[in-house]
Amino acid sequence: MDERIRHASVRPSMSVDELLAQMRGCAFGAGRLAECAGIYADMVSDPDCTRFLGLAGAMVPAGMREVVGTMLDHGHVSVLVTTGANMVHDLIEATGGAHLRGSLSEDDCRLREQGMNRIYDVYLPDEHFATFEAWMQEALEGLGRETVTAPELFSYLGSRIKDPGSILRRAHLRGVPVFCPAFGDSMVGLQAWLFSQTRRMAVDSVGELRRFLDLCYAAKRAGVLVVGGGVPKNYIFQSMLLTERGFDYAMQLTMDRPETGGLSGATLEEAQSWGKLRADTRHVTVYCDATIALPIIVAHAMGRVEGERGMGGGGG
Amino acid sequence: MDERIRHASVRPSMSVDELLAQMRGCAFGAGRLAECAGIYADMVSDPDCTRFLGLAGAMVPAGMREVVGTMLDHGHVSVLVTTGANMVHDLIEATGGAHLRGSLSEDDCRLREQGMNRIYDVYLPDEHFATFEAWMQEALEGLGRETVTAPELFSYLGSRIKDPGSILRRAHLRGVPVFCPAFGDSMVGLQAWLFSQTRRMAVDSVGELRRFLDLCYAAKRAGVLVVGGGVPKNYIFQSMLLTERGFDYAMQLTMDRPETGGLSGATLEEAQSWGKLRADTRHVTVYCDATIALPIIVAHAMGRVEGERGMGGGGG
Amino acid sequence: MDERIRHASVRPSMSVDELLAQMRGCAFGAGRLAECAGIYADMVSDPDCTRFLGLAGAMVPAGMREVVGTMLDHGHVSVLVTTGANMVHDLIEATGGAHLRGSLSEDDCRLREQGMNRIYDVYLPDEHFATFEAWMQEALEGLGRETVTAPELFSYLGSRIKDPGSILRRAHLRGVPVFCPAFGDSMVGLQAWLFSQTRRMAVDSVGELRRFLDLCYAAKRAGVLVVGGGVPKNYIFQSMLLTERGFDYAMQLTMDRPETGGLSGATLEEAQSWGKLRADTRHVTVYCDATIALPIIVAHAMGRVEGERGMGGGGG
Amino acid sequence: MDERIRHASVRPSMSVDELLAQMRGCAFGAGRLAECAGIYADMVSDPDCTRFLGLAGAMVPAGMREVVGTMLDHGHVSVLVTTGANMVHDLIEATGGAHLRGSLSEDDCRLREQGMNRIYDVYLPDEHFATFEAWMQEALEGLGRETVTAPELFSYLGSRIKDPGSILRRAHLRGVPVFCPAFGDSMVGLQAWLFSQTRRMAVDSVGELRRFLDLCYAAKRAGVLVVGGGVPKNYIFQSMLLTERGFDYAMQLTMDRPETGGLSGATLEEAQSWGKLRADTRHVTVYCDATIALPIIVAHAMGRVEGERGMGGGGG
């Protein structure tokens, strides 16, 4: 340490890469964001690294669907662990629905009367759920198995999606498994319940864990980007703990705070006390809205990887 | 509205009930805490109300095990929805382990060398996991079923626990089902995985949801206290949404914030736009560490319920 | 360290002191609140201790006026450092105005049309400012000096107030000086400006600092309770730093977070690197809404002090 | 409203302007950042607009000195309102000192022994304060006036600085007054106190307010960018309130939250209830670390302004 802070300078039409280069000499959030972008680019350039992406929050409603899709297309992700919500919102768009820009000042009871479901400053009209439900019930009809795991189900759903923007479709095409440890806690889970009213259907979380741990044990090297904490963060961390090799790279983008003692806001240093991270794991937490930080670090890594591989258009 | 703020006054040896009475005239957190305590006491006094408790965070390591147990004993909870972590820490204490007061200034890599796992300012020694594991593997041995749901498994585990302080035991004795929608995301889930290496074992999240929704549909009236957000919050809210009657009472204790768009920090007003809460649902969010707010509102409700019922010792 | 977490238990009609005793064995916010209450009670019992209270936020509008007044009456405070806002709101009530319980869901532009100024969930009607202004202009008329410091002015204002609930009056009667390092940044400052349109009036911040540092240098022992951070926190800390003896007791109640690098959220450990706190200063930060934490620790200290002194009614 | 969310897409070597264009279709933080960048660019392009910059936090230690300097050079700022701390750190660098990249895991008591003062993850060595003090005492010697206001003093100090990177020097050269409503609450204030031990010196906050309000009244149109809240935010807002015309543009970059009721985290909608913002004021709050958001919006505005003016190198 003990190097000087170098003050960031900005100029018109500067690139995101230049911005990060300028932030590299800074402290606080700017310094952390630049450090994270560097670790992330190294991680996606590491050919032996199994790359975990933990996706909490409501990234799809907020407009991050294409960024996540690009991460998949460019090989940034080996294994996706997500809340059900992110996949539900992916499916809603894949089945023709749309998220709308909303307002915080509208009365929520009036929104209800208008059939508008609010997610912070995003609105989702009721009618899109009807389309989603019809599509889901038809899909579950064709599944042909009584017991599945969440990654099996999501791969199957991804194979039926036509929308090229879909995260589930892109994960399926790339062979990236989609884990969803709180499967029941989502509209997809509720659709499975609805289906199970007339057919037999079970979604097995132990089988899911078995497959996940096989991937963990198979990893030569491992890295993780946690977006927003929650179940995906803990699921990835507790599993790598079993392998006793821990992570080589670990990053989290979060607005949560450590003081409540919850896992979402827990520091990555705390994870070292558990052995989830090794003493020499390169790691950083960026305390920043993920919708701001994620596009920046992904854009940067795309440039780095392209530069190294001498490619023009990325991995897609 | 438009009534005057009445300034709280304090006196030596005042009771928690007096404190809340004084806070009732205040605004900000004090006013909200008093309002929450009032709604909570009304909810637990309502004989027709199905009462959901959503338990996220690390409440057991922090010292809230007895408060939650008391809530169960006194009939404050009809249905418990929890992270696996809270039940893991309950089991660790039930099998003889202990959580220790720790420090934030200790180096986490040194803690690892000492076999100490840190949860904010709590330490958990490695050795307690070994005891927990042995107990769990023996218990799973005796389960005698290949496919279970989380509430079935937790009820079974509760029936084997001798420790009278155990949340799982008290829930079992009271007939309170314990739902755990992210079952795989916990050390209990990992124990099930370990067991499944040599035996067949599946934990079905659709079956869990089926049972949960039956309880939701059966509710004449419904109330919810959300501690800390996370999966339990969403699971309870999305399910009641299906019943189209929503909640009569809804409270959350959280330090999360709405601006990230995540469900944990989402306002209860946002839940109204979905119809999860009705326009006339009595509701309040208290932005406060749950380890401070929960004991206060529970103590207050115990007094209210006793006063009404003319009982001496509560339901225990 | 390394003592066991003792789970808090609650009972009907328990006292605030019992609640704190139960929280003492806990971690997270509960443990910190109990620790803070203990340090605070020791500080107010320490006869040689100069006690600083830093008061930011909008504690008076929220209903904390009487708690602060009680702290003054009972000798808990030797020196008050405050935002101007808290004193403005004290004066507004002292001149007959009132703060009203408001709502977060009201449209703010409509509130403007109704002449209602909102402070989170508190409303303050326009008309009270008119009364306050008339009172202030008359008071400044009688001041009889061209250059004053903020504590001189506030002591003078306190001497003119009849309302026994007033913080300024109680501080004046007790001889507690009221410092306001951002004097211009308040409605009192604006009243001074208005007065200065036709008369000469200067408010000298160097003179204020001189008096403040004299108090710091005179302290045999020193303690500080910071409510909410801001200018009062920094002002108290930077000044004690000069004396090179630092604090014997230091507590802060805050919801701010360290990650932004601002002083409000800075940890008390950071203050040790500056020498503002010594290595052996008893200190704790409670991450809690001050309107919840402050009444609790003050009530507890009142009991402790009374118990020790064998008094019946406190210092009032 | 009710337009569709457009998912951001990223590409290698994309510019900051493209990034913002992509974020424009998003919600949450990304959408707000893009909106803020648009409003900011419009504000700095508005020839009739008096532009206020409120600067709290520790922006200079974090590496934002050059960004703020660029804002001054390019005419983005008409009036600067700051904490003393930001100017102290500017002076420390102007007098040869440096801020160093630090660590959060170092023991703060050990840092004290090493003479290192910590500001989150920045270190500032003790010795730089000695140089700063000598420079300040010599400067105050040459001031030649007994009573000054903060902006007079800062302009004088700026005129003596040789370092071209200095914010105070650049503000002086551009004729931008630097207000510091909590003047005493800073190391500059303490230097004035030290000087006043042997000479007469007063710093008048009413005179400062008089000058500030003259600028407010003179504004044809007005805009404000608040970085981090605190005293600068309230000072600017309360003053414009007097003029009864309010702001045409208002933006804040903050990590503070509304729920504590403090002014730092107060929403801009709350400011509308006071009339500080009009119903039609274009406004947005970005919940983001300012060290990340500020360089982005400034870089963007530089491009916009240059494009419009057909200039090559900015206003410097």
CATH of the domain at A73: 3.40.910.10
Contact D295 A27 (CB under 8 A): no
Across chain B, mean pLDDT equals 94
- Distance, CA of C211 to CA of C205 (rounded, Å): 10
Number of domains in chain D: 1
The verdict on B105 touching D (C-beta cutoff 8 Å) is yes
Question: Among the ranges A79-83, A105-109, C307-311, which has the highest mean pLDDT value?
Answer: A79-83
Evaluate whether B148 touches B204 at the Cβ level (below 8 Å). Answer: yes
Place of tokens 């947005």: D284
Is the pLDDT confidence value at A304 over 90?
no
Q: Tens digit of pLDDT for each residue in D267-314?
A: 999 999 999 999 999 999 999 999 999 999 999 999 987 766 654 433
**Residue D2, pLDDT score:** 58
Contact D64 A303 (CB under 8 A): no
The verdict on B109 touching D (C-beta cutoff 8 Å) is no
- Distance, CA of A88 to CA of A58 (rounded, Å): 10
Evaluate whether A277 touches A224 at the Cβ level (below 8 Å). Answer: no
Name D221's Cβ contacts closer than 8 Å, sequence gap at least 6. D46, D48, D49, D50, D248
Is the pLDDT confidence value at B35 over 80?
yes
Interface test with D, best of A9, A10, A111 (most D CBs within 10 A): A10
Q: Tens digit of pLDDT for each residue in A83-100?
A: 999 999 999 999 999 999
Smallest CA-to-CA distance from D62 within D289, D300, D312 is with D289
Question: Measured between CB atoms, which of A11, A27, A63 is closest to D8?
Answer: A63
Q: Tens digit of pLDDT for each residue in B138-168?
A: 999 999 999 999 999 999 999 999 999 999 9
Confidence of residue A254 (pLDDT cuts 50, 70, 90): very high
Smallest CA-to-CA distance from B245 within B221, B226, B267 is with B221
Evaluate whether A30 touches D62 at the Cβ level (below 8 Å). Answer: yes
B304 within a domain of the structure (yes/no): no
Name D26's Cβ contacts closer than 8 Å, sequence gap at least 6. A62, A63, A64, A291, D5, D6, D7, D8, D34
**Residue B264, pLDDT score:** 86
B191 within a domain of the structure (yes/no): yes
List chain B residues with CB under 8 Å of D257: 257, 259, 287
Is the pLDDT confidence value at B66 over 90?
yes
State whether residue A226 is helix, strand or coil. Answer: strand
Across chain C, mean pLDDT equals 94
Range of the domain at C256: 48-97+125-289
Q: Tens digit of pLDDT for each residue in A213-226?
A: 999 999 999 999 99
Contact C256 D261 (CB under 8 A): no
- Distance, CA of A218 to CA of A252 (rounded, Å): 23
Contact B287 C255 (CB under 8 A): yes
Evaluate whether A108 touches B270 at the Cβ level (below 8 Å). Answer: yes
- Distance, CA of A83 to CA of A81 (rounded, Å): 7
Chains that touch D (3 or more CB pairs under 8 A): A, B, C
Contact D293 A293 (CB under 8 A): no
Please tell me which residue of chain B has the smallest CA distance to A263: B57
Q: Tens digit of pLDDT for each residue in D184-238?
A: 999 999 999 999 999 999 999 999 999 999 999 999 999 999 999 899 999 999 9
The verdict on C195 touching A (C-beta cutoff 8 Å) is no
The verdict on A260 touching C (C-beta cutoff 8 Å) is yes
Interface test with D, best of A19, A23, A26 (most D CBs within 10 A): A26
Is the pLDDT confidence value at B1 over 60?
no
User: Kindly report the CA angle at D150 between D43 and C52, in degrees rounded to 5?
Assistant: 110
- Once rounded to an integer, what is the mean pLDDT over residues B275-280? 94
List chain A residues with CB under 8 Å of B121: 261
- Distance, CA of D280 to CA of D300 (rounded, Å): 24
The verdict on D123 touching A (C-beta cutoff 8 Å) is yes
Helix (H) or strand (E) holding A55: strand A49-55
Is the pLDDT confidence value at A265 over 80?
yes
State whether residue C246 is helix, strand or coil. Answer: coil
Query: What sign for the dihedral angle of Cα D261, D263, D269, D270?
Result: positive
**Residue D236, pLDDT score:** 97
Contact A61 D121 (CB under 8 A): no
* Residue B260 DSSP symbol: G
ipTM score of complex: 0.95
Please tell me which residue of chain D has the smallest CA distance to B254: D259
Task: Count the alpha carbons within 13 Å of A85 in the hemisphere toward its beta carbon.
Answer: 25
The verdict on D9 touching A (C-beta cutoff 8 Å) is yes
The lowest-confidence range among B209-213, B305-309, C218-222, D34-38 is B305-309
Query: How many CB pairs below 8 Å do chains B and D form together?
Result: 23
C228 within a domain of the structure (yes/no): yes
Evaluate whether C25 touches C6 at the Cβ level (below 8 Å). Answer: yes
**Residue D110, pLDDT score:** 95
**Residue B259, pLDDT score:** 84
The verdict on B289 touching C (C-beta cutoff 8 Å) is yes
The verdict on C309 touching B (C-beta cutoff 8 Å) is no
State whether residue D116 is helix, strand or coil. Answer: strand
Smallest CA-to-CA distance from C57 within C299, C290, C223 is with C290
State whether residue C92 is helix, strand or coil. Answer: helix
**Residue B245, pLDDT score:** 86
**Residue D264, pLDDT score:** 87
C132 within a domain of the structure (yes/no): yes
* Low-confidence stretches of chain C (pLDDT beneath 70): 1-2, 307-316
Q: Tens digit of pLDDT for each residue in C1-48?
A: 459 999 999 999 999 999 999 999 999 999 999 999 999 999 999 999
Smallest CA-to-CA distance from D304 within D20, D14, D9, D44 is with D44
Q: Is B162 a catalytic residue?
A: no
Query: How many CB pairs below 8 Å do chains C and D form together?
Result: 215
**Residue D313, pLDDT score:** 38
Name B30's Cβ contacts closer than 8 Å, sequence gap at least 6. B8, B23, C62, C63, C64, C289, C291, C292, C295
The verdict on C105 touching A (C-beta cutoff 8 Å) is yes
- Once rounded to an integer, what is the mean pLDDT over residues A118-141? 97
The two tokens of residue D19 are 């990034």
- Distance, CA of C176 to CA of C79 (rounded, Å): 6
C35 within a domain of the structure (yes/no): no
**Residue A259, pLDDT score:** 84
- Distance, CA of B76 to CA of C143 (rounded, Å): 60
Q: How far is D127 from chain C (nearest CA, A)?
A: 13
Beta-strand relationship, C247-254 and C79-82 = unpaired
For chain A, give the percent of residues with pLDDT over 90: 88
State whether residue C95 is helix, strand or coil. Answer: coil
B34 within a domain of the structure (yes/no): no
* Cross-strand partners of B254: B287
The verdict on D26 touching A (C-beta cutoff 8 Å) is yes
- Distance, CA of C269 to CA of C272 (rounded, Å): 5
Q: How far is C76 from chain B (nearest CA, A)?
A: 14
Q: How far is C125 from chain D (nearest CA, A)?
A: 10
- Distance, CA of C69 to CA of B187 (rounded, Å): 51
CB burial string A49-66: b at 16+ within 10 A, e below: bbbbbbbbbbbbbbbbbb
Query: What sign for the dihedral angle of Cα D12, D16, D22, D27?
Result: positive
**Residue A4, pLDDT score:** 96
Residues 46-75 of B with CB under 8 A from C: 58, 61-67, 70
Please tell me which residue of chain B has the smallest CA distance to C7: B63
Largest separation between any pair of C-alpha atoms in chain A: 67
* Residue A24 DSSP symbol: T
The two tokens of residue B168 are 């799982």
- Once rounded to an integer, what is the mean pLDDT over residues A283-290? 96
Name A106's Cβ contacts closer than 8 Å, sequence gap at least 6. A118
Is the pLDDT confidence value at B23 over 80?
yes
pTM: 0.96
The verdict on D6 touching B (C-beta cutoff 8 Å) is no
Contact D62 C242 (CB under 8 A): no
- Distance, CA of D310 to CA of C171 (rounded, Å): 61
**Residue D309, pLDDT score:** 60
C314 within a domain of the structure (yes/no): no
B301 within a domain of the structure (yes/no): no
Confidence of residue B306 (pLDDT cuts 50, 70, 90): confident
Contact C28 A105 (CB under 8 A): no
